[in-house]
Structure 1
Amino acid sequence: MHFSFWAAAATLLATCRLDQVVAVAVPDHNLAERHANGKIAPKFFIISMFAPEADIWYDNLPSSGLGDLLAVNISTPGLSMLYPHVHCVADYSICQVTTGEAEINAASTVMAVALSPKFDLTKTYFMIGGIAGVSPKEAALGSVALSRFAIQVALQYEFDAREMPENFTTGYLPYGTDFPDEYPTTIYGTEVFELNEALRDIAFEYASKANLSTSTDAAAYGEKYAAEGPLYTAATKGPSIVKCDSVTSDVYYSGNLLSEAFENTTISWTNGSGVYCMTAQEDNATLEVLTRLAIEGLVDFARIILMRTGSDFDRPPPDVSAFDHLRVLDQNGFLIAIDNIYYAGVEIVKGVLKNWDCTFKKGIKPTNYIGDIFGSLEGESDFGPGSLTEGKGYKPGGNNPDNFKRSSVPGKAIRKRGALPGPVVRAAQ
């Protein structure tokens, strides 16, 4: 919350005046640029997951002066049966698609869009914008989180808690290990993604201009956490813009034990850098698709923004059961979370479009590692077992030698990469 915009972004915005950043963007009607090589080349692409997250853009964007997303409706093979169109404003500067909920739908839709011959997405900024569960340790209902990490926390062995070993704290066990707090030794590749922190920080500054929607009923539910003491103070305050990370699980989980387990997974798998905050169902699936297509030069992985808003808390307040918290009581966060997708998101869209020529067209250079746990792009991450490509990144078209290291790392102890206190990780069998 104490980020200095000038310190981190002065060089990035050297040719832009700060008053330009604040101004409302005016759409560019040069359709030639939108049709690079005969294809639609949007500057900004919004990824929604289900109807309410999309409708807030359809209903409100026209009043912003940025255009009407229902002006152009584009079909292409492979989109969701429920959401069969990509929607764009008249000058194609902004487009939006709804993927359908959960990982398979998200991956299928984003792959269909990115491989469609109708689009050129090489310079497009993508924003995943959806609602999520929120940790009461980090933010209140309705809060907006901009993330650096996305962690696929459910990609583990699972025991029913009634059958787990007595010395386990959770029924989740990382692949290839014998104890919950070890780092996985069998890696699938989608466990962790890291996004462009410099872009995240700029998006945070833009989003911070928003007047967020609030609710007295949501605030009253947040006040229930006051009995837990200072640890949950954030839950008792109003909606805010925060920097914290998103976890992915197709299972819609709720409760103290699961939330604490996945909080520990986040800390471990990111080498202590990640801050568990938002719980979602799609992010890692979308990011895996964008990683694969970045290898092929079809998208720029440095141009991805991950934004989630808190619609419900991931664990109950004191004296409320996990079941009642999830299925009986109304936390009253849904509507303000939907509202704040737009209120925060539109400020980010305005900033990118207004400063396109002087800043965003050429891209925001990352100052951190970006990519997946494999090192599929370039660089060496500070989490995981290390780059499988020795920092070089995979070549497009599958033109890679067969002797790259595999996802399992026999004989290599990787506890130093961030595992919580516990036994040294065993080699994959």
Structure 2
Amino acid sequence: MRATSAFLFAAGWFLQSACAALIPATVEERSLECVVKPKIFIISMLKSEASNKPNRLLTIVLWQFDPEATVWWGIDEFDILAMNITVPGFSPLFPEAHCTADGEICQIVIGESEINAATSIMALAYSSRFDLTSTYFLVAGIAGVNPEVATICSVTFARYAVQVALQYEFSQLEIPSNFSTGYVPLGATTPDEYPENIYGTEVFEVNQNLQKIAAGFARKATLNDSDDAILYRANYAANEAYAAGAAPSGPSVVECDTATSDVYFSGTQLSEAFSNYTTLMTNGTGNYCTTAQEDNATLEAFMRAAVNKLVDFSRIIIMRTASDFDRPYPGEAATTNLFWAEQGAFEPAIQNIYLAGIKVVEGILDNWNSTFAGGVNASNYIGKSPY
């Protein structure tokens, strides 16, 4: 009896220390000595639907909030919850990284806002549980959308992320008559001047060749729409400048850029001001399209990790789906657009994270040996923008 017990103990210890992949990680985490090397990491955020509706690591998917995260759970293609790894420094609300049993695909939920994003990504990048040196990161969340560029329910892929609110701010009631906005670049004295003071997080540029490849994969998807979204976007046809927002053909995949702001802004004046700032900070090459709260913070954390050779900055993809318009249609109040309008885009935008994102994940995995293992060479500058 004692020999049998000793044998079982020894066998159990051996299997645990060897980090055997067949041990169900949903019941017990793999041993702390096991290093997971994903090919893809999905980054997710967290947001409640109420805020948007009226009354190998081979790939890591980065999530900001819960619906954005759970859309990947229980799918046919893979089980992202097969292995769950508690990581010190993650959000106390989302303390675990989720991975497939083979460790090729993982997910982190970083929470909302710049602070949550930066701290969670830093904890991930410096965790001893992961080898992220060859991992692709898919930032996958929803966003507001500029009707001059795209429509609700669309899927966007960014080259630039611009921290639009990192400026001086004056109340609109107190600005001079020759100011178009209360936002003034740091160190400047008028809204259209380039900033004299640079903090270093204002603009990030990711691999444009990878951006285009990812968008190409996503275009294979059939995107979700809704009857309410079809009716709502039609209102934007009243302004010719909003032809892309009115889009009778419905949602599409668009290559355009994203704005980061902790302030959840809405309305024509602020959106135009931040569009102009995006143009200014990218020397006319950026195209302001989506609004989010995390991306520059996520990218700064990755940049610091890349300097220490923990991640490859050229392997980052920024995908945002359009859950609402960033401004009202002609004749609608800005508060109505944000608080009360039935835009009908939240649920399709959430579903389109998965519908488009799964094509990106599968495209990377299916072409790993031929294209992605060695990396996709960037033909553009990547990192902190030189502009």
Name 1:51's counterpart in structure 2: 66
Amino acid corresponding to residue 243 of structure 2 in structure 1: T
- Are positions 1:355 and 2:367 aligned together? yes
Q: Is the 8 A contact 1:141 1:219 kept in 2?
A: no
Counterpart code for 2:274: F
Answer yes or no: is the 8 Å Cα contact 1:210–1:344 preserved in 2: yes
User: Could you tell me which of 336, 347, 361 is aligned with 1:324?
Assistant: 336
Give runs of aligned pairs for residues 384-423 of structure 1, distance below 5 A.
none
Query: C-alpha displacement at 1:269, in angstroms?
Result: 0.3
**5+ unaligned residues in a row in structure 1: which ranges?**
1-29, 374-380, 384-429
Name the counterpart of 2:120. 109
The two structures, once aligned, show a CA RMSD in angstroms of: 1.6
Work out the CA distance in 2 between the residues paired with 1:351 and 1:225: 35
Tell me the SS of whatever aligns to 1:47.
strand
- Whether the aligned pair in 1 keeps the contact of 2:228 and 2:342 (CA below 8 Å) is no
Query: Hey, what does 2:270 align to over in structure 1?
Result: 258
- Report the AA paired with residue 228 of structure 1: N
Kindly provide the CA deviation profile for residues 374-428 of structure 1, in whole angstroms up to 9, marking residues without a partner as x: xxxxxxx3x1xxxxxxxxxxxxxxxxxxxxxxxxxxxxxxxxxxxxxxxxxxxxx
Equivalents in 1 of 2:251, 2:341: separation in Å?
Answer: 20
Partner of 1:200: 211
Instruction: Tell me, yes or no, if structure 1 residue 336 matches structure 2 residue 332.
Output: no
Partner residue, 2:227: 216
How does 1:366-381 map onto structure 2 within 5 Å? Answer: 366-373=378-385, 381=386
Instruction: Tell me whether 1:76 sits opposite 2:76 in the alignment.
Output: no
* C-alpha distance in 2 between matches for 1:104 and 1:44: 23
> Deviation per CA, 1:118-164, whole angstroms, max 9, x where unpaired?
00000000010000000011111100001100000000000010011
User: What SS is found at the alignment partner of 1:193?
Assistant: strand
User: What is the distance in 2 between the residues matched to 1:95 and 1:286?
Assistant: 17
CA distance in 1, matches of 2:154, 2:372: 26
Tell me the distance in 2 between the aligned counterparts of 1:103 and 1:299. Answer: 20
Q: SS of the counterpart of 2:74?
A: helix
Higher normalized strand content (fraction of residues): 2
1:166 counterpart (163, 167, 177): 177
CA distance in 2, matches of 1:76, 1:341: 25
TM-score of the pair, normalised by structure 2: 0.86
Post-superposition Cα deviations, 1:313-361, rounded to whole Å, max 9, x if no partner, equal 0000011101111111121110010000000000000010011111101
Distance 1:352 1:328 in 2: 40
**Structure 1 residue 191 and structure 2 residue 187: aligned?**
no
Which amino acid is 2:305 matched to? L
Q: Distance in 2 between matches of 1:159 and 1:332?
A: 34
Percent sequence identity is: 54
Residue 7 of structure 1 corresponds to: none
Equivalent residue number for residue 146 of structure 2: 135
Could you list the per-position Cα deviations for residues 30-74 of structure 1 after superposition, in whole angstroms to 9, with x for gaps in the alignment? 97xxx9x951100000000010000100132xx12xx20111111
SS at match of 1:133: strand
One-letter code aligned to 1:138: V
What residue number does 1:25 align with?
Answer: none
The residue number in structure 2 matching 1:232 is 242
Map 1:2-21; keep pairs closer than 5 Å: none
**TM superposition shift of 1:167:** 1.1
Counterparts of 2:178 and 2:365, CA distance in 1: 54
Q: Give the count of matched residue pairs.
A: 339
TM superposition outliers: structure 1 runs of 4+ over 6 Å: none
Counterpart residue number, 1:306: 318
Aligned residue identity for 1:147:
A
Q: Distance in 1 between matches of 2:87 and 2:245?
A: 42
* Structure 2 residue matching 1:59: 3-state secondary structure: coil
Aligned to 2:332, what secondary structure does the other structure show?
coil
TM-score (norm 1): 0.77
Unaligned runs of 5+ in 2: 1-19, 22-30, 45-63
What amino acid maps onto 2:36 in structure 1? I
- What letter corresponds to residue 274 of structure 1 in structure 2? G
